[in-house]
Amino acid sequence: MRRLPLHLLVLATLAPAFAGCTATSFTYISRTYVGLPSQVVTIGCKEPYEVYDNRQKRRLLIVSNGLREVLGCNLNDLRIDPDPEATRIGRFRAAARAYLDETVREDCAITGETVFDGLKSEFAYSCSAPVEKRGTKVPRLPGRRPGLQSQ
């Protein structure tokens, strides 16, 4: 049996993550969320979603795990979740709402949604409170690597 070169194996592994990510959406995501640390919110059966919050523009980028999106909520049980409320769109919206609630912005409303691909969606939100000035201490959730992020 012939082995694939390492670069082809890496490309085959990463290709699904970038499928559907056009140059335009990649540029927009990079420009809007560059330098923002990820935070993690969990919903339902402890499904983790990474959140990038651009508080100045009042936009959230929700990023999911590809394996979880394929296998559904019951990844630990290795069975597909038949619950119709557990659709990808519903889960992403629930993650956005949970994130706003957990960062003490229960009064904020989600006003729009942009689906970039099966793993990334952006949510616009509005709040009655004014936008915080840069550098203001705000409630934060842990990230994937809390020890490496500045607090």
pLDDT digits (tens, 9 = 90+) for 86-144: 578 888 999 999 999 999 999 999 999 999 988 999 999 999 988 888 877 887 887 65
pLDDT tens figures, 11-26 = 444 444 445 456 788 8
pTM, to two decimals: 0.70
**Distance in angstroms (rounded) separating the CA atoms of residues 54 and 36:** 7
Q: Which amino acid is at 71?
A: L
pLDDT tens column, 50-88: 999 999 999 999 998 777 666 655 555 544 555 544 578
CA atoms of 112 and 123, how far apart (whole Å): 6
The CATH class that applies to domain 39-131 reads alpha beta
